[in-house]
Amino acid sequence: MSQILTLTLNPALDLATEAASVLPGPKLRCAAERAEPGGGGVNVARAIRHLGGAALAAVALGGARGEALAALLAQAGLDTLRLDGPGETRLSFAVTDRATHGQYRFVLPGPVWSDAAMDQATETLSAAADPEAIVVLSGSMPPGADTGFCTRMVAALGPGRRVVIDTSGPHLAALAAGPQPCPEILRMDSEEAETLTGRALPSRGDSADFAEALRAGGAARYVIVARGADGSVMAGPNGRVHVSAADVPVQSKIGAGDSFVGGFVLALSRGQPAREALRMGAAAASAACMTKGTELCRKSDVARLLPDTVLTSL
């Protein structure tokens, strides 16, 4: 089994609560908050643990919120590699409107990083990674990070390590342009893909065509585009494939993407081919939608939903 490391440079102390309704003006009386460790790589590591696997979570922490987050990571039983953050760890919070079931998510930016601090984090991660480790960079990049960082990280980790990247904004756009060396896996959602291509991608075939164009252009060995309730498509060296999502009652979509990456990467670490790993990712994403607030997938739900994930060649 391959070692899994996740990197979270911009983690968050995640708070979730509920209110009778969310309206401007009056004070909104909320239910007791639930606190969870947040950030893409943190959530991927949590999902992997929920599924019976293990990951080393490299997390940048700073200030009082960083200490609170460190305590939550310990309570969650995560194996953590602590990085020194350049400032106070950010806060994010979600409020669910009980009247409409709408969910309002507020995400703060986090501290500004220097190039030197970014490169030091990469060196620390590289020193901790086994020669054939799977390294996951998931979530938003911190303020101050230049768009060439992901490519430099892939180069520093070397060819023996498989790098999985799930990020957004200018950093995703830079990776989509195909600089080398490229990651093993590049994942994005439909909204991000449509932003990159500048047009709608209404069908599975449209998403798969776009994923293949990115793959052929050198963006990654495998490119995955998530399509929400319509599952995901993946373009790889052996062609294009769609995986269906399980039909589940949606409680919260928070963490579905990170659960997907967790399930996908765990399957890869166990030696499964990318197509089968795609099914595990889809089941984990659907399972995460069944849980409230910032809770992630449950192992029992993933096992039950896995047979409902169907692969179709495109």
> pLDDT at position 26, please?
92
What tens digit of pLDDT does each residue of 142-189 get?
999 999 999 999 999 999 999 999 999 999 999 999 999 999 999 999
> pLDDT at position 247, please?
84
Q: What is the CATH number of domain 4-313?
A: 3.40.1190.20
Residues 166, 189, 206, 258: which is the catalytic one? Answer: 258
> pLDDT at position 293, please?
63
Task: Return the bridge partners of 61, or none.
Answer: 84
> pLDDT at position 165, please?
98
Low-confidence residues in the chain, pLDDT < 50:
none
What would the DSSP string read from start to end of 172-225?
HHHHHT--SSPPSEEEEEHHHHHHHHTS---SHHHHHHHHHHHHHTTS-SEEEE
What tens digit of pLDDT does each residue of 32-51 get?
998 889 899 999 999 999 99
Beta strands 12-19; 162-166: pairing state: unpaired
What tens digit of pLDDT does each residue of 278-287 get?
999 999 999 9
Residue 181, preceding peptide bond in cis (omega within 30° of 0): yes
> pLDDT at position 101, please?
86
Active site residue 258: yes
Residue type present at position 108 = L
Domains of the chain, residue spans? 4-313
Long-range contacts of 189-198 (CB under 8 A, 24+ apart): 189/225, 189/226, 189/227, 189/228, 189/257, 190/225, 190/226, 190/227, 190/228, 192/168, 193/225, 196/172
